[in-house]
Each structure stands twice: as C-alpha cells, then as structure tokens.
Chains A and B, each alone.
Chain A
Amino acid sequence: SQQGEEDPQALSIQEGENATMNCSYKTSINNLQWYRQNSGRGLVHLILIRSNEREKHSGRLRVTLDTSKKSSSLLITASRAADTASYFCATAAVDGTASKLTFGTGTRLQVTL
C-alpha cells in the first residue's frame, strides 16, 4: 500500500513560475526523499530530509518536513521547461530488520514556455 499521498496530482505552470508539491504520509519515518522521473524511465534522487530536520535546500529546490502533521512539501523555484516530469515523495522506514523506501502517488508537473 502507498505510504504517501501527493497533491496536486497534476500541475501546469509557465516557465519562471514556482511549483509546489505536497506529500502526506501515515507512519513514522527515518527520512523522506523526493525523486523525479522522466517519461516513465528511471527515477533520479533529488533531495533527502531526515526526520529531525525541518527544511533543506538544494539549488532551486526547497523541501520542508513537518513530522507532527506527517507532511512534506517540495518547492521548485524559477521553473524551466526541463523540469517537466513526475515527482514522487518517498518515505524511508525500518520494517523489521530491513529498511524500505515507499513511494507516494506522485505529481505530474508540466512547465510550458
């Protein structure tokens, strides 16, 4: 079963605008990660935020984490057409003696010129 629900499911913006995606999850986590996927191929890791962190930046990306609300957001500033992709949050948690990464439902981002 999916750990995370993301909204919006789809987002269409113009180049230069900011894009915000939200992720909610259900159980305790060790960290939360965001991934990008182009055209149904491999996923690329964007950023990881640990459960004891509240905010993290990487280039044009800003991630927040609120463990009390079990939610996270990804902000992409000054978007470009090349940012068009699907974005997934993924929660990392321990299951027994192993760790696993569970993906949210994803947001499809379309950036137009």
Chain B
Amino acid sequence: DTEVTQTPKHLVMGMTNKKSLKCEQHMGHRAMYWYKQKAKKPPELMFVYSYEKLSINESVPSRFSPECPNSSLLNLHLHALQPEDSALYLCASSLATGGQGVAEAFFGQGTRLTVV
C-alpha cells in the first residue's frame, strides 16, 4: 500500500470554527509533512515530524496546530483561520533517512480548504 490518505477532500469553515485535517499512511514511514499550496504556486513546507516528534516548524502561525498521535497518523488542527489561509493542504510521508536528506515522498490528494 503506497497510499497517503487525506480527509476530508474539501472543507469550508468559518473564521470562528475549529476543524481538523487528517492524514494516514501505512507504509511504515517515520517522517511526515504538512504543506500548504496556493493556486499556481509551489507547495510550501509547514511542519515536519520525524519519529512522531515535531522536527521542523516553518514559523507557522499558532492557529495551525499539528499533532502526530502515532506513526501512521498526522493531524492538523485549525482554529480562528483567516480567509487568506484558504489553500490546498497536502500531507506527505517518506522514509526517515537519519539526516541524509529526504527520500522519495508520497503525497496525499490534499484537502482543499476554504475559509469564509
């Protein structure tokens, strides 16, 4: 199974709502990532988890809160978002290479988030 599953596929939320994005993989990958992608732009890294520990936070606002409850799951909790946070949120996973650089990353299909 070389699949990364993201739910939901689409999400519309108000600025006062709290919601969560979910990502799941069963490839035994111990590195997991959240990316944000605006239209016609490249994916921008938000967070990196390595062995269930947060390794990289690319200065993401605290209204985005990641969580890695186990080696197969990655969540992104959303609270008090702004309309400019509307984007495609992509989850990815890869083998953890012990500091030798990221191996091939497998991406989910993304959650298209609209903040109203």
Tell whether B110 is near chain A: CB-to-CB under 8 Å. yes
Determine whether the beta carbon of B99 is less than 8 Å from that of A97. Answer: yes
A12-37 vs B: 1/0 string, CB under 8 Å? 00000000000000000111010100
Number of residues from A at the complex interface, CB < 8 A: 31
Whether, in the assembled complex, B69 has its beta carbon less than 8 Å from a beta carbon of chain A, the answer is no
A95 CB to closest chain B CB (Å) equals 6
User: Are the CB atoms of A93 and B101 closer together than 8 Å?
Assistant: yes
Given contacts A40-B37, A95-B56, contact A29 B101 (CB under 8 A): yes
Assess the A102–B45 pair: CB atoms within 8 A. yes
Q: How many chain B residues have a CB neighbour from A under 8 Å?
A: 33
Kindly list 4 other residue pairs between chains A and B, CB separation below 8 angstroms, not including A42-B109, A94-B101.
Answer: A98-B99, A99-B31, A101-B92, A106-B41
Residues of B near any A CB (own CB < 8 A): 4, 31, 33, 37, 39-45, 48, 50, 55-56, 88, 90, 92, 94, 96-97, 99-110
A-B contact pairs, 27 of them (CB 8 A): A30-B100, A30-B101, A31-B102, A33-B104, A40-B39, A40-B88, A41-B109, A43-B92, A88-B42, A88-B43, A95-B56, A96-B55, A97-B50, A98-B31, A98-B55, A99-B50, A99-B96, A99-B99, A99-B100, A99-B101, A100-B33, A100-B102, A101-B33, A101-B92, A102-B45, A103-B43, A106-B41
